[in-house]
Structure 1
Amino acid sequence: MWHGQLRHLLLLAVLLPGAWAIAGGSLGDGSFLGITDEVWFIAAVAVPVIQQLAVALLWRAQLCNGLLTRTFGDAGFIVWGLIFFPLLVARPLLIAAVGLADVGTLPIPRALGIALGSAMLLPALWTMHSVKKYFGFARALGGDHFFERYRTMPLVREGAFKYSSNAMYTFVFIGFWGIALLCRSRAALAVAMFQHAYIWVHWYCTEQPDGVVLYGRSPDED
């Protein structure tokens, strides 16, 4: 149940002060929608922590004890989606809010920020299209923890997955960097860096070990 989670917490304890150290010098003067940049920053860091701790706890509880399906039946997967998807959608929105509250603190020309930011959004959008077309959002949600049919599906090798077996974590999170660069925000860039690093903590500490139990191998191996 708790395999890898001490390592998860230790790495989180390193990443959190690192994100603050990168962003801290630019915070304290801005606001967006009447909310200070510091509050937006805290929210943008807290939401992925809440989400990934929830994933670690509930995926493991489902994997080890069938908690959600025992409690809610097949609707347990829907309940999980209602927990997971709002937190997922909030992640880029909060980075944008940090960027708009802290706009212009990254010392790069506006045109360069727009060019780089737009370029970084492209692989993220392409990967989301690949997830929808080839992988499926239900599978990305962790359907293999709930239903046998997802465990017998082959690895996806089309679209973005042709270039990385873990295209979602490799490419989608580049889009978060793009949002920060579009805003030319140091604090938003710190959040994007934190979120991208932290999703790999989730991979190595939770998802990969779960895959060994579910498939007898890491889920990114042939």
Structure 2
Amino acid sequence: MKKLPVSFLFEGQLQHLILLAGLLPGAIYLASPALDGSTWLGIPDTTWFYSVILIVVIHQFLGWFVFRTQLVFSLLSRLFGKYDMAVWGSLFFPFLLSRPLLTLALGLADYGSLESLRSIQIVLGACLLIPALYTGWSVERYFGIPRALGGDHFRQKYREMPLVRKGAFKYSSNAMYAFAFLLFWAIALLTGSRAALAVALFQHAYIWVHMYCTEDPDMQIIYQGIKEPITN
């Protein structure tokens, strides 16, 4: 892969910031009517709400920083050698796991704020769990955790692997973003929480911002001249 200019660090990031500036007030606007100070574990719903938002934003900015500095400077590889991906995983996975847990905490604090049609909410939530969990299984079974972690930013061997077309990836080459994020919608509907639903919408929209503003430019560089790019 050719040496990249330092300016590539910021490719697509102005658009990223503009879209984030629109998504944040949108999420707050949608959640605000439900944020009445209700608590779970003694912590108010407002605190849970802003905690989720903060974790999501930090997580995705961390993804931008690591991916771009790896492509431009091979930063983690230079600092940690063969342990570069292990270090990245130790940063990435705590954020990833905290997102559904904090969304659930918000849903429990704001339980039932959607009020009407509770039975339909529960049925829809249970239905959305199916593709979300199936996608998680498909990632582990067919795609592989290292590739899902962005292994193509670190190792040539991941760049040379073919597209995965099994499991959830049979229905979308980007099943992780298309289907796995339905987990947040499922949590919101199962808890009947308007605030959690606003957070689910924010997370699902914001991951596509990451895709188009960060990963898509990366893929164009990484897979230049390769016929079948892997969609992370």
- The answer as to whether partners of 1:128 and 1:172 remain within 8 angstroms in 2 is yes
2:102 alignment partner, one of 94, 103, 126: 94
Any runs of at least 4 consecutive aligned residues in structure 1 with deviations exceeding 3 A, and if so which? Answer: 217-221
One-letter amino acid matched to 2:219 = G
Distance in 2 (CA, whole Å) between partners of 1:212 and 1:45 is 29
1:132 alignment partner, one of 119, 129, 140: 140
One-letter amino acid matched to 1:207 = E
Distance in 2 (CA, whole Å) between partners of 1:175 and 1:108 is 21
- The answer as to whether partners of 1:120 and 1:175 remain within 8 angstroms in 2 is yes
The alignment's TM-score, normalised by the length of structure 2, stands at: 0.93
- The answer as to whether partners of 2:34 and 2:194 remain within 8 angstroms in 1 is yes
Distance in 2 (CA, whole Å) between partners of 1:189 and 1:107 is 13
- The answer as to whether partners of 1:208 and 1:219 remain within 8 angstroms in 2 is no
Q: Equivalences for 1:63-212 in 2 at 5 Å?
A: 63-212=71-220
How far is the alpha carbon of 1:2 from its aligned partner?
0.7
- The answer as to whether partners of 2:161 and 2:230 remain within 8 angstroms in 1 is no
Distance in 2 (CA, whole Å) between partners of 1:166 and 1:58 is 20
Aligned to 1:215: 223
One-letter amino acid matched to 2:91 = I
Distance in 1 (CA, whole Å) between partners of 2:15 and 2:97 is 26
One-letter amino acid matched to 1:146 = F
How far is the alpha carbon of 1:220 from its aligned partner?
5.8
Q: How many residues align?
A: 221
How far is the alpha carbon of 1:18 from its aligned partner?
0.1
One-letter amino acid matched to 1:88 = L
Aligned to 1:55: 63
Distance in 1 (CA, whole Å) between partners of 2:193 and 2:116 is 10
How far is the alpha carbon of 1:174 from its aligned partner?
1.1
The alignment's C-alpha RMSD in Å is: 1.2
Q: Which string of whole-angstrom CA distances, capped at 9 and with x for unpartnered residues, describes residues 192-216 of structure 1?
A: 0000000000000001110111001
How far is the alpha carbon of 1:177 from its aligned partner?
0.3
* Amino-acid identity (%): 56
Deviates more, 1:124-133 or 1:208-217: 208-217
The alignment's TM-score, normalised by the length of structure 1, stands at: 0.97
